[in-house]
Structure 1
Amino acid sequence: MTSEPRDAPQFYLTSPSPCPYLPGREERKVFTHLVGRKAVALNNALTESGFRRSQTIAYRPACEECRACVSVRVRVDDFVPTRNMRRVLDMNTDLIGASLPARPTSEQYTLFRGYLDARHGDGGMADMNVLDYTMMIEDTHVETRLVEYRRRGPDSSINGRGTGPLIAVCLTDVLADGLSMVYSYYDTEQAERSLGTFMILDHVARAKRLGLPHLYLGYWVDGSRKMAYKARFLPQERLGMDGWEVVR
């Protein structure tokens, strides 16, 4: 893990770079390090303020002329799945997710690599090797879990784990007021399962069982097709200039 001697957060601003979501625009981010004995409390406070975590970095957009990136969190107790979402749940009743310590495996990396090649071959993570993946999973000073999804087996009701090949994975932070889905990936050859939607629905249920009021989904970007799905999980709260605002 990376480390830093100071406990008081120091914030930095990145230089402008091409926006990955909206063509023709530039992005800037403000970021700080999540390390030391105050990392957990700092991550809780920053996530509630619209930051996201990547390894030991907490960041949020700081674009001068654009406010398209909006932090979104699902209101767990009020959430009601749509008819289509209920169909997704029905299609995946044969799957079970096991919450495990954040430890990388070669099976995870194989699935991760296949997901990147199929869905994000030209993205910023396209060149990640096995060491990069290991850092993404292990380099954390906060409470982080890996949820691995496999088919249910004869002992799943006893041990809470599935059997057979790995089908989907979500790197998840456990916060004081909710769960945060840091990064998820899945077997793209099983597109009919709508595994991305299924993992969000499963995490809503997990947060509810834990008595946590929110599921953080990261940034919804108005005008970005690949981020449009986040707007479907209602009711949700979006972070605006006057704080978190309910959208139903």
Structure 2
Amino acid sequence: MRHSLPLAPQFYVTAPQPCPYLADRMERKLFTALQGEYAERLNDALSKQGFRRSQNVLYRPACADCTACLSARIRVADFRPSRSQRKAARRNADLKRQANSPWATEEQYSLFRRYLDDRHAKGGMADMDIFEFAAMIEETPVRSRVVEYTAPPAPGSRHRKLAAVCLTDLLDDGLSMVYSFYEPERARASLGTHVILDHVDIAREAGLPYVYLGYWVPGSPKMGYKANFSALEIFKNGRWQDLGDPESHSGETHPLSVDPIAEQVARISLPDTRSPV
């Protein structure tokens, strides 16, 4: 099934498959290729409309009768860490951050495998080999960085140990955390929270207003943690709005709760490709 706009990227819809977040639901994705000289503009424009990047594809949930997945972002200027988040920052104060070009390493893949085996052993990425991992990191047509966090060397070693990694896109209005993973042995130190807090710091230092976290899914234990961050906005009903009370949001499951794909595509705002880059 294909839909398109005049002089615009082609949009496609995936076949229904089991939802990875909510039991007994099926998911579909609306997606388009991200390529060519206007890739960055398209990534910027569609990220503001609830899309996410995966390699050279931009996608957004377009499920037939469910609207649970909501794109989320932190409003940097208004963000204030909670008490537990401040504790997480202190527990990880020994980590050193370094932002690199998007290049995959064996050390990253080793950490990635430990993370998946501990946290997502039955997930869709569980069988990803090193070549697929390298493609996830390196196949990016936009401005991206691999942000690494390293811990102090073990006794008798000079090499700092890789503790966390985040593949991050640089948008015109913020940072998009495409995918992050971390050392399972440090899970009790809330390392995942620390990585988000540090990205808020990076965005603030760069004068960028938002940090995009991906999808918040009410009712999903895997994705519920995002609601713990203050100044959180969600993209709902075609606009960004304050999260408010997390309990007030739920995914509708009526066949008429979702607009037809053609109508969704028609409402997508695309960047002007006639002006120079």
Q: What's the TM-score, normalizing by structure 1?
A: 0.91
2:10 partner SS? coil
Deviation at 1:247, TM superposition (A): 2.9
User: Is 1:21–2:21 an aligned residue pair?
Assistant: yes
Partner of 2:142: 142
Partner of 2:261: none
The letter of the residue matching 1:228 is: G
- Taking only aligned residues, the RMSD between alpha carbons, in angstroms, comes to 1.4
Partner of 1:208: 204
Contact 2:49–2:238 under 8 Å retained in 1: no
1:196 aligned to 170, 192, 198, which one?
192
Contact 1:145–1:171 under 8 Å retained in 2: yes
Extract structure 1 runs of 4+ deviating beyond 3 A: none
Partner of 2:53: 53
The letter of the residue matching 1:145 is: R
Report the structure number with the largest CA radius of gyration: 2
Q: How many residues align?
A: 234
Structure 2 residue ranges without an equivalent (≥5): 1-6, 245-277
Change (3 A) 1:242 1:8: closer
Structure 1 residue ranges without an equivalent (≥5): 1-6, 154-161
Contact 2:103–2:138 under 8 Å retained in 1: yes
User: Is 1:230–2:226 an aligned residue pair?
Assistant: yes
How far, CA to CA, are the matches of 1:240 and 1:106 in structure 2? 39
How far, CA to CA, are the matches of 2:126 and 2:161 in structure 1? 23
How far, CA to CA, are the matches of 2:141 and 2:109 in structure 1? 22
1:178 aligned to 165, 174, 177, which one?
174
2:179 partner SS? strand
Partner of 2:165: 169
Deviation at 1:190, TM superposition (A): 1.4
The letter of the residue matching 2:230 is: L
How far, CA to CA, are the matches of 1:189 and 1:240 in structure 2? 36
User: Is 1:102–2:102 an aligned residue pair?
Assistant: yes
Deviations 1:124-161 (A, max 9, x none): 000000000010011010001000101368xxxxxxxx
Deviation at 1:8, TM superposition (A): 3.8
How far, CA to CA, are the matches of 1:151 and 1:29 in structure 2? 38
1:187 aligned to 176, 183, 187, which one?
183
How far, CA to CA, are the matches of 1:87 and 1:54 in structure 2? 32
Partner of 1:63: 63
Partner of 1:159: none
Contact 2:182–2:192 under 8 Å retained in 1: yes
2:187 partner SS? helix
The letter of the residue matching 1:193 is: A
How far, CA to CA, are the matches of 2:239 and 2:159 in structure 1? 43
The letter of the residue matching 2:114 is: G
Contact 2:152–2:161 under 8 Å retained in 1: no
How far, CA to CA, are the matches of 2:72 and 2:241 in structure 1? 10
User: Is 1:75–2:71 an aligned residue pair?
Assistant: no
The letter of the residue matching 1:187 is: E
Identity of aligned residues (%): 54
Partner of 1:119: 119
How far, CA to CA, are the matches of 1:173 and 1:163 in structure 2? 28
Contact 1:150–1:163 under 8 Å retained in 2: no
1:31 partner SS? strand
Deviations 1:19-64 (A, max 9, x none): 1111000011100010110100000001000000000010000012
